[in-house]
Structure 1
Amino acid sequence: MANTVLFSPSSSSPSSWALKRGLGLRRVPRCPNSLGRALRRSFVAAAANSPGFANENRDDGFGFGFGFGLVCNVQAVAPYERPALTKGYLFPPDKKPARLPGFHTCVGSGGERQTPEWYTEHGIEVLYQDPVVAFDGQKQTVTTTSGKILKYGSLIVSTGCEAARFPEKIGGNLPGVHYIRDVADADSLVSSLGRAKKVAVIGGGYIGMEVAAAAAGWNLDTTIIFPEDHIMPRLFTPSLARRYEELYQQNGVKFMKGVLIDKLEAGAGGRVANVILKNGSVIEADTVVVGIGAKPVVSPFEAVGLNNSVGGIQVDSHFRTSLPGVFAVGDVAAFPLKIYNRTARVEHVDHARKSAQHFGETIEVGNFDPKVATFWIDSDSRLKGVFLESGSSEEVSLLPQLAKAQSLVDKAKLKSASSIEDALEIARSSLKAGSAV
């Protein structure tokens, strides 16, 4: 087909889009379901979990959604919102933990809950536990684990990332050592937490902090271990990190900072028993959770072109790879970010994470009860980004506008702001002043 209609799979992205080869995206009216199903059959999606991707920060300014005729899913369940796995899913039983179907895609963004029945109703076939293992761009086919050879008109690679793991030789695969990327991983960890006494969490990023909070909720002896000087070094300033660390310590969590792992040691029964540090220290733990990062899953699609600097599959501003009809979206896509004149691969689309890459002077407002905000300002007095804790939906919606505009801001006024609301209003006024110039 010269033109192929792409359907958004959720009500949070209600528009339909047409992609004309070589000409980018243009909006078209939504088609009736019968026509939509026929057109969507020309799509095959190779997915680790989520079959769709929307990124409002693409440099062409469009947001878009994909709908597919066929999804080759590595997991045994329909796609879901992965962040729940290290948050509500790990709650103890008396705290009503999150469980499927409660967090199927796309409830996290306010869209429809896409259960297995949803895919059937919308004419989308899902092959569960049957991921793509071979790819032929010339023949336009993919082969799945079960041996199915699928012909595609357009192929969307949404393979995501896999957890970085410790080598087996230092105990990375011992019983009681956990990595979290899917529901099965989370179920295994919940089982361990139910009988654990001492938990060691390795890594001071999102995964480490969220799992440590969950372990504290189980009233377990919990220690976080990481090599940096403070938690979340790519996002938090030292003073902001200190506020969070104090909050965790008030809930019984201990920190081991600036240390490296030597090995994980098994006990008499073969289960992990100790974390041995390079400095010789020993932390007892019968459950260890490793959250040391992730790496993009590019196999078997290496032939479409990889990015050696940020990892992942190289795409253009419309998420097209070097091969016609093949797209890469989500964590695995390395795309041009023109606002910063560089190529990016985004594993979290949260605005605070992006803005924190541009450090300059920081101004903190609020007493963390519960609100706090940090403003990043460069040497030219331009507001580069804002971190906001416990903001309203209206306040949060302001943050991408501020990061994109990078307007001049009055630092003296920000420092003297009497509240977070006043500080955000000062920042908002910088947008108006910038547009008037």
Structure 2
Amino acid sequence: MASAFLRRMASSISSSYSHYALKHRVVGTPRISRRSFAVSASKFSNENREFVIVGGGNAAGYAARSFVDHGMADGRLCIVTKEAVAPYERPALTKGYLFPLDKKPARLPGFHTCVGSGGDRQDPEWYQKHGIEVLYEDPVISFDSNTQTVATSSGKTIKYGSLIISTGCGSARFPEKIGGNLPGVHYIRDIADADSLISSLQKSKKVVIIGGGYIGMEVAAATTGWNLDTTVIFPEDHIMSRLFTPSIAHRYEELYESKGVKIMKGSLIEKLEAGADGRVANVVLKNGSVVEADTVIVGIGAKPAVSPFEAVGLNTSVGGIQVDSLFRSNVPGIFAIGDVAAFPLKIYNRMTRVEHVDHARKSAQHCVKSLLTAYTEPYDYLPYFYSRVFEYEGSTRKVWWQFYGDNVGETVEIGNFDPKLATFWIDSDSRLKGVFLESGTSEEFSLLPQLARSQPVVDKAKLKSASSVEDALEIARNSL
């Protein structure tokens, strides 16, 4: 989320060390998991693996594609994951998977990695075809950097040459003592979570969503498609407070309220109460107010899934495993990518951690390229965030915004949100630092990263006088 790249750190990390690689390939028999997914064409008769990826999220899928592109996957690569399915594009879980069954919801295999960026659909057969071993539902529970081994929950010990940690994040949860584990209380990080929530929504009448960030706003948009009584509760003054200005937030809040969503700002949760059947029935606020609910979705953030790799080296400021600009950790031969990696954000000269699908894709590709070749260019990521909501069939207003850059400095807002809106962040030197656009054309959206990366000097007075979003974007384009 946006908070990950807004937090700063003054320290830097060392680099320049070699990685390990095992040179042996031996032939064995393919293994089939208990869920009947083919564990992709294993060519190992012992426990040695040249490359091991821990975690089966989107970053793992893109890393696998990069290994294939470099001709280094077949019989050399193993993915160890706690999930029962092959890597998939996780944004679909809250953007399309939760749509009502009669409104064309997203379903697998339709959104397996890497369809989100125009690549092949990497279903289980794809991994088998490319000779990639995948151990499903068998998470790593320990590792030993001295022996270069990882141990899994099923008792396997796997020796690696190079290890890529791609464990992502887990949902921040309410404590059990205040009702965080009651039946009907949901968290969303994987497809099993989404399936459980859909089961609740099918018989729900009153939904409460706790949190005004990405999860909260995307799930609230989906529940409007179910025509459910929906309330969003959060402690901040406005939605998406880590990115949106109060003015931007106000526009979206009005849109949600026009669709029947009730928004309760500045509200803190005391506890979740169960009804006579043991299922969640009430959300009790600190001020004593009670909101009825038979389904509660908690979207209060995420925590990097660093266990059992704490010894690799953690970043105590932004969280996650500390890596350099090539995603090398402090331990030779071990890398970290995606949500779990704390890396140098070159463009703004600070350490950061980004929880976003765009970074998951790009960090995976950069890491594998540097691991397998002589490529040493530092990762130069431009922060990018977006959302697409209300896209279910029959929706009267589809919403799609994008943001690039850094949300620091003075803001200039243009447009009336009918449907377009643009906001520019400009620093004290009149340099454009960040730009936000709602309902742009593909050409207009393609301009945003150019502006954010170039950080041109703009005429604020001229920008403020722009008669339309199109006019403002043209003024910004000319400043390039």
TM interval, shorter chain, is 0.7 to 0.9
- Distance in 2, matches of 1:325 and 1:400, equals 33
The equivalent of 1:150 in structure 2 is 158
The equivalent of 1:365 in structure 2 is 414
Alignment counterpart, residue 133 of structure 2, candidates 120, 125, 132: 125
SS in structure 2 of the partner of residue 90 of structure 1: coil
Alignment counterpart, residue 336 of structure 1, candidates 335, 338, 344: 344
Structure 1: gaps spanning 5 or more residues: 1-20, 25-36, 56-63, 432-437
Q: Report the CA distance between 1:379 and its aligned residue.
A: 1.9
Q: Does 1:410 align with 2:443?
A: no
Q: Does 1:376 align with 2:425?
A: yes
Q: Does 1:83 align with 2:116?
A: no
For the 8 Å contact 2:56–2:79, the answer to whether it is kept is no
Alignment of 1:116-195 (within 5 A): 116-195=124-203
SS in structure 2 of the partner of residue 52 of structure 1: helix
For the 8 Å contact 1:53–1:330, the answer to whether it is kept is no
Q: 418-427 or 129-138, which moves further after superposition?
A: 418-427
Alignment counterpart, residue 218 of structure 1, candidates 218, 221, 226: 226
For the 8 Å contact 1:49–1:74, the answer to whether it is kept is no
The equivalent of 2:278 in structure 1 is 270
What is the letter of the counterpart of residue 240 of structure 2? M
For the 8 Å contact 2:60–2:87, the answer to whether it is kept is no
Q: Report the CA distance between 1:370 and its aligned residue.
A: 2.3
Q: Percent identity, aligned pairs only? A: 73
More relative contact order in 1 or in 2 (CA 8 Å, sep 6+)? Answer: 2
The one-character-per-residue Cα deviations of 1:163-187 (angstroms, maximum 9, x if unpaired) are 0000000000000000000011000
Q: Does 1:205 align with 2:213?
A: yes
What is the letter of the counterpart of residue 184 of structure 2? G
Distance change (3 Å), C-alpha of 1:53 and 1:421: farther
Q: Report the CA distance between 1:425 and its aligned residue.
A: 2.0
Q: Report the CA distance between 1:218 and its aligned residue.
A: 0.4
- Distance in 2, matches of 1:41 and 1:106, equals 24
Alignment counterpart, residue 101 of structure 2, candidates 88, 93, 97: 93
The equivalent of 1:113 in structure 2 is 121
For the 8 Å contact 2:415–2:422, the answer to whether it is kept is yes
Alignment of 1:243-258 (within 5 A): 243-258=251-266
Q: Report the CA distance between 1:352 and its aligned residue.
A: 4.5
The equivalent of 2:22 in structure 1 is none
Q: Report the CA distance between 1:38 and its aligned residue.
A: 8.9
Alignment counterpart, residue 44 of structure 1, candidates 47, 52, 55: 52
* Length-normalised TM-score, structure 2: 0.78
For the 8 Å contact 1:319–1:329, the answer to whether it is kept is yes
The one-character-per-residue Cα deviations of 1:13-34 (angstroms, maximum 9, x if unpaired) are xxxxxxxx8489xxxxxxxxxx
What is the letter of the counterpart of residue 454 of structure 2? A
Alignment counterpart, residue 315 of structure 1, candidates 316, 323, 333: 323
SS in structure 2 of the partner of residue 143 of structure 1: strand
Alignment counterpart, residue 444 of structure 2, candidates 395, 402, 411: 395
Alignment counterpart, residue 71 of structure 1, candidates 74, 79, 85: 79
- Distance in 1, matches of 2:441 and 2:43, equals 42
For the 8 Å contact 1:206–1:232, the answer to whether it is kept is yes
What is the letter of the counterpart of residue 351 of structure 1? Y
- Distance in 2, matches of 1:268 and 1:238, equals 41
Alignment counterpart, residue 284 of structure 1, candidates 288, 292, 302: 292
The equivalent of 1:347 in structure 2 is 355
SS in structure 1 of the partner of residue 347 of structure 2: coil
Distance change (3 Å), C-alpha of 1:352 and 1:144: closer
For the 8 Å contact 1:234–1:356, the answer to whether it is kept is no
The one-character-per-residue Cα deviations of 1:252-290 (angstroms, maximum 9, x if unpaired) are 000110010000000010000000000000000000000
Distance change (3 Å), C-alpha of 1:226 and 1:356: farther
Q: Report the CA distance between 1:53 and its aligned residue.
A: 7.5
Q: Report the CA distance between 1:48 and its aligned residue.
A: 4.1
What is the letter of the counterpart of residue 198 of structure 1? K
Q: Report the CA distance between 1:150 and its aligned residue.
A: 0.9
- Distance in 2, matches of 1:115 and 1:23, equals 33
- Distance in 2, matches of 1:100 and 1:329, equals 24
For the 8 Å contact 2:61–2:114, the answer to whether it is kept is no
Distance change (3 Å), C-alpha of 1:183 and 1:146: same
For the 8 Å contact 1:409–1:427, the answer to whether it is kept is yes
What is the letter of the counterpart of residue 396 of structure 1? F
- Distance in 1, matches of 2:210 and 2:194, equals 16
What is the letter of the counterpart of residue 275 of structure 2? G
- Distance in 1, matches of 2:208 and 2:279, equals 14
- Distance in 2, matches of 1:414 and 1:228, equals 30
SS in structure 1 of the partner of residue 260 of structure 2: coil
SS in structure 2 of the partner of residue 295 of structure 1: strand
- Distance in 2, matches of 1:53 and 1:414, equals 42
What is the letter of the counterpart of residue 364 of structure 1? E
- Distance in 2, matches of 1:412 and 1:316, equals 41
Q: 311-320 or 397-406, which moves further after superposition?
A: 397-406
Structure 2: gaps spanning 5 or more residues: 1-15, 20-41, 359-382, 387-402
- Distance in 2, matches of 1:102 and 1:418, equals 42
Q: Report the CA distance between 1:51 and its aligned residue.
A: 4.6
What is the letter of the counterpart of residue 241 of structure 1? A
The one-character-per-residue Cα deviations of 1:101-139 (angstroms, maximum 9, x if unpaired) are 010001111211111111111111111001111111111
- Distance in 2, matches of 1:109 and 1:45, equals 21
Q: Report the CA distance between 1:402 and its aligned residue.
A: 1.7
SS in structure 1 of the partner of residue 283 of structure 2: strand
- Distance in 1, matches of 2:336 and 2:102, equals 41
The one-character-per-residue Cα deviations of 1:221-264 (angstroms, maximum 9, x if unpaired) are 00000000000011111111010000000000001100100000
SS in structure 2 of the partner of residue 264 of structure 1: strand
For the 8 Å contact 1:352–1:387, the answer to whether it is kept is no
The one-character-per-residue Cα deviations of 1:46-65 (angstroms, maximum 9, x if unpaired) are 0142353879xxxxxxxx94
- Distance in 2, matches of 1:107 and 1:371, equals 28
